[in-house]
Amino acid sequence: MKQIVTLLLILVLGTGLAAQDTENPFFRAFATPFGVPDFDQIRYEHYLPAFQAGMQQQKDEIAAIVSNPEVPTFENTILALERSGRLLDRVSNVFFVLNGSMATDEMQEINNTVTPLLAKHGNEISMNADLFKRVKAVYEQKDILPLQGEDLVLLKETYKGFVRNGADLQGEKKERVKKINEELSMLTLTFGQHLLKENATFMLIIDDEADLAGLPQSVIDVAAQDAKDRGQDGKWVFTLMRSSIEPFLTYSEKRDLREKIYKGYINKGDNNNELDNKKIAARIAALRVEKATIMGYDSHADFVLEENMAKTPANVYRLLDQIWKPAIARAKEEAGELQGMIKKDGGSFSLQPWDWWYYAEKLKKEKYALDNEMIKPYFELNNVIEGVFYVANRLYGLHFIERHDIPAYHKDVRVYEVEEADGTHVGVLYLDYFARQIKRGGAWMNSFNKQSNMDGRAVYPVITNNLNLANPGPGKPVFMTFDQVSTLFHEFGHGLHGLLSKCTYNSLSGTSVSRDFVELPSQIMEHWCGHPDVLKVYAKHYQTGEPIPQELIDKIEKAGHFNQGFVTSEYLAACYLDLAWHTLTEPVEHNALTFENKTMKKIGLIDEITVRYRTPYFAHIFSGGYASGYYAYIWSEVLDCDAFAAFTETSLFDQKTAAAFRRNILEKGGTEDPAALYRQFRGKEPDVKYLLQNRGLN
């Protein structure tokens, strides 16, 4: 297949496309329910011609805008630009969503080919002097044009997008930014591909049953299935996926094996081999500094945060520092308790990072008579899905109908039509919850189609939710930890943000909001998943169907603040590391490990805790969209804790409050200032006290 892809590229780029291939599904309307991608028909060889045709189509559309002899107007320039590139968007949405969850060798090779082409194409548009001249001409009349609401926001955001991409630059500066953008596109791609390969290649293979000591049977069964899938029949395999490594670190009595898999995880991208990411990360950071300087900013963080709620690095540091002090103090207390557990257990060694999960679980069981295995039977995947649907129904009246006639891209993916209470179609939701070797790690939401309603053409959202749960095999129950349940609710919240969008323009709809606002709709959902009234509805024993007993709910509530010093500190440390890399003011390629160690020492992270994401595998900031924005989760947590208080002050499913949250947050996309939207919902500024209470740090 690689040879076919390469040959096709030569043919496409060498001879051009004389006509669109009628056999290529991207060149015709998908003959599927609701126009979802026709996964049954799409083949690897369809992508490159569709990308090429899409780019050419948009070039022609841009040329038409630029050559228009009429005076630039909102209609013939801004709206014409918004309309452009529909074919390119179509193929891009399908390809890049699938490349996260189905990253085969063929998909990665196509990615390597199209990424520089797309970077160049984007540069040609964003730095087109004649196009920018027309956009600027319309923008300069914004105060006298009869524009309001979403139209005015679109004009401002379009103009700002050009300026922030370097359109206002001249000569060498403009050309240098082009080169930086193209180099960054390839570096960030390579960084992510290295991690995908690291995750796929590391295996802790156990062939002696004695080395499974302490592991629950459900964990052992999953490891056996994973071994079978990898051609290691009769053995047990543990990987670097969180759904594999965390239960091993939590329960394994074999300290040497805990150390081995832990170090395998924290050394991803840091093995001085062909997959090493240290120099790549340093180069990315240096290029970002250089670009920010050319654009007139002190640092990349200054450049990015100008567009976020935080506005400045100083404001982010102010929030982090406010939470860091009580968090690290609590973490030190927790480390002392765990060291006591080691001594009580007969150990004479000092607590190490690979010991933390194991002894924390023992301590939790001792203090609260609670461990994960006690509650897992009540958190079976199917019941949890019904639970999150229940919450969405009670809040917003939504119904989720599983559809087997809508094509899916993998046999494990479940597809749902989403309807309003009155039966009106809302959109389509794909649930892709299982880990596989060709899927990137973590959890995320994405869109095959974003909602829009431009020119009377209603586009309904087609949304995906992704987790990386261990698959125990056909017909076996899928048990979840409470953290995994929270993650499922979290990603579903992002899904609701995409599904319930009511915007005119694609570029402003759904999750097209600032990084420190986008986590509000996701994180607020986590509050319902653990609420006693909701647990009684969906947390049912997988065999008997009996609701979770009140005794267990009480234990979960009492243990709610357990280990929060660790959880908060390892996360905040990553926030500080992100900011350290992106508040640099000189384009110097630092030694990544020296820089990271210096940063951790500066904030006072204790040796027993490793920063949640070390530089060589910090994909959020070096291959994702969270550079200078990893703090967004804690910033949004201030909002979500304050927002949930609006419900607890009334009732858990208060319809007036839910309607206000839907109207002001979920439906608005990026059509208004997020701070203003929040005030419209809440009637006041958010208060950090609710976050501190929620984490037990007050």
Which tens digit of pLDDT belongs to each residue from 507-548?
Answer: 999 999 999 999 999 999 999 999 999 999 999 999 999 999
Token reading at 218? 């459900």
- With 50 as the cut, is the pLDDT of residue 489 above it? yes
Share of the chain above pLDDT 90, in %: 91
pLDDT at 33: 97
Token code pair at residue 42: 């799409």
DSSP per-residue string spanning 458-525:
EE--EEEEEEEE----TT---B--HHHHHHHHHHHHHHHHHHT---S-GGGSTT-S-HHHHTHHHHHH
Q: Among residues of the chain, what percentage have pLDDT more than 70?
A: 97
d(CA 39, CA 406): 10
Over residues 430-442, mean pLDDT = 93
Confidence (pLDDT) at 373:
84
H/E segment holding residue 665: none
Over residues 402-407, the mean pLDDT reads: 98
Do the bridges between strand 425-434 and strand 462-469 make them parallel or antiparallel, or are there none, so unpaired?
A: parallel
What is the structure's pLDDT at 13? 38
- The answer, yes or no, to whether residue 422 has pLDDT greater than 90, is yes
Work out the angle at residue 445's Cα, subtended by the Cα atoms of residues 618 and 79, and round it to the nearest 5 degrees: 105
**pLDDT at residue 448 in the model:** 98
More confident residue, 372 or 638: 638
Residue 383 pLDDT level (bands cut at 50, 70, 90):
very high
pLDDT, one tens digit per residue, over 183-210 is 999 999 999 999 999 998 999 999 999 9
What does the pLDDT look like over 78-93, one tens digit per residue? 999 999 999 999 999 9
Q: How far is CA 276 from the centre of its chain?
A: 23
pLDDT at residue 484 above 90?
A: yes
CB burial of residue 613 (10 Å; 0-12, 13-18, 19+): buried
Look at residue 483 and tell me whether its pLDDT is greater than 60: yes
**pTM for the whole thing?**
0.91
Residue 610 has pLDDT above 50, yes or no: yes
pLDDT of residue 54: 98
Across 426-434, average pLDDT: 98
Residue 697 in this model has a pLDDT that exceeds 90: no
For the chain, list the domains and their CATH numbers: 2-168 (1.10.1370.40), 202-266 (no CATH), 278-370+564-630 (1.10.1370.10), 377-558+633-695 (1.10.1370.40)
For the residues 496-501, what does the mean pLDDT come to?
A: 98
For 638-647, what is each residue's pLDDT tens digit?
999 999 999 9
Per-residue pLDDT band at 474 (split at 50, 70, 90): confident
**Cα–Cα distance measured from residue 584 to residue 43, given in angstroms and rounded to the nearest whole number:** 44
pLDDT at 20: 58
Does residue 302 carry a pLDDT above 60?
Answer: yes
pLDDT, tens digit (0-9, with 9 covering 90-100), for 6-36: 334 433 433 344 345 679 999 999 999 999 9
Q: What is the pLDDT of residue 475?
A: 87
**pLDDT value of position 12:** 40
Q: Give the residue numbers marked as catalytic.
A: 491
pLDDT: which is higher, 7 or 167:
167
The whole-number pLDDT of residue 372 equals: 81
The stretch 235-243 carries a mean pLDDT of 94
pLDDT at 14: 38
Taking only the tens place, the pLDDT of each residue in 259-291 is 999 999 999 999 999 999 999 999 999 999 999
Are the CB atoms for 102 and 411 separated by under 8 Å?
no
Amino acid 17: pLDDT: 43
Alpha-carbon distance of 490 to 488, in angstroms, equals 5
Tell me how far apart the alpha carbons of residues 580 and 614 are, in angstroms, rounded to a whole number. 13
